[in-house]
Structure 1
């Protein structure tokens, strides 16, 4: 029995040793190629309407009418809210009455002034009476100007009881309902002009310098916008301006890009990712599926002339769809394992078929 068990163990050991030397199925390999291309780097962006203003009550009173709805488009000059204006209409009528009285008093005193001049010219009364009459006219003119100012102020309050849209835009939330009492300065809603939007995004100093070397804002760099759902926004944007200084805490500087918004898809406060173009040269393209990690370091398998695979450490510098771009450590003579990295191990001999890296780039539409 003991001899039988020993024989089984020896047979199993021989079988395992034989399996280690057996070549696995044919795997695909390729040689890295050096690329000069333009990549698009992504930066998280906050989207703002070109105009986004708070609509506030300019007089106190009860909301008589709300003539707009949330999320609806309004035109410049359109009445959005009306505040009960009966009190202000009465104040206007009172101010106009005071103005009429002041005007009548002034007119009467001006007639008196004419008569006073005639009497002074005939030496009937002294010149002091003329001076007094002139002073009265000046005082009544000032009184009329004051009454006129009160009329203007009353007219403004009546006018401000109708709250109009300052520009074409989209209405935000309406926190108050009809009949609500609002004070002067109460926020009634927010209005956004979304015909064009700004996308603000932060860029590191290194990327800022690379952008400047490629012409910067002077060349009106075209950028793309990726929406929150991963879809590409159909309209191209333009980098218009860069802030004047770097943030001391983050080391970043803010860019502002403008996008047209003909369908009003983009709204104030939305988010997305701006793709900024960057020219790169002399980078080796390596498929992402060829790369594996061990203890936070990246490796690929490289096959030598005898068909033996060995691990090679790499440092991915940039990324394009399905590929890493590596600056150093490769040559066109290297042969990199493209598939089956889970099936092989260090020092194992493999059979392979060669596929040009340019063909892989075309298949994956990486460029």
Structure 2
């Protein structure tokens, strides 16, 4: 059993008085990461809106043909802004992960990903980082579907597409409590970001959803933050016809990997038994039906016994699988992991310091 699994199985302490935990934004170590690729018309406007309590900004020039990095260095005098240039285009996911690493190296504690196309309202930054500052979440993301009024600026095609993708993401990630998985306005705690960076997260347009899947394997807590949709004259690089097939395949792959890992490798519980026996009952009923249809005489009607033998296992199998899904819905992570990761890092740093002091004392 991993240390993170042990952490989640330990008793949950009593909830603290939130009045004693009011977050201070100034000096909280909040950094913004902005992937920059073909955003020359908007990036300086985005940087101009960065609030004063943000400690730093990392703009990732993702081998941009428009030389976004040069434009930022020439047109932005804010000393908090740092430009990171990637030698090859890594996609939005690769650029974001690189930005996470650079921001954490420079002292970032909470890392906020903002797109460079000025679609995101930075006035919602406090709402986005507060769940992490309070220790209630490891990752927070925008949700444009929290209110009908928030969808007024979103085209109808995007509403339908995002709604469908949201349901698929619930299945593939296990986060049944979140919606709008493709929303790129996100915040993550730095120690959690370091763990995620070690995993094989998709680097292109599937990045946000794949990141949720990998956060699920860590049992990280994810929180939705309501905010309205916002669209302007920006041009999206995402073409629905090109990503529909790959997205569907990746959701199916992540779903299979999640179920296998969560219910057969890292744990074995009642949902595991429901999945096994539900699948067996369903398979028996289906195979029995196909076999009877193959061997029956032409025009022969099925007897009551045949119908029950075929239907009853299917009904039981479906009920067991629905029970397994219900278990999965209530099994969403509820205890953040970043306090544990921070404490572990401090202990390891202290141990390394003691070892270094012992080495110096021995004259080695």
Shorter-chain TM band: under 0.3
Q: Which has the higher contact order (CA 8 A, sep 6+)?
A: 1
Whose helix fraction is larger, Structure 1's or Structure 2's? 2
- Is the radius of gyration larger for structure 1 or structure 2? 1
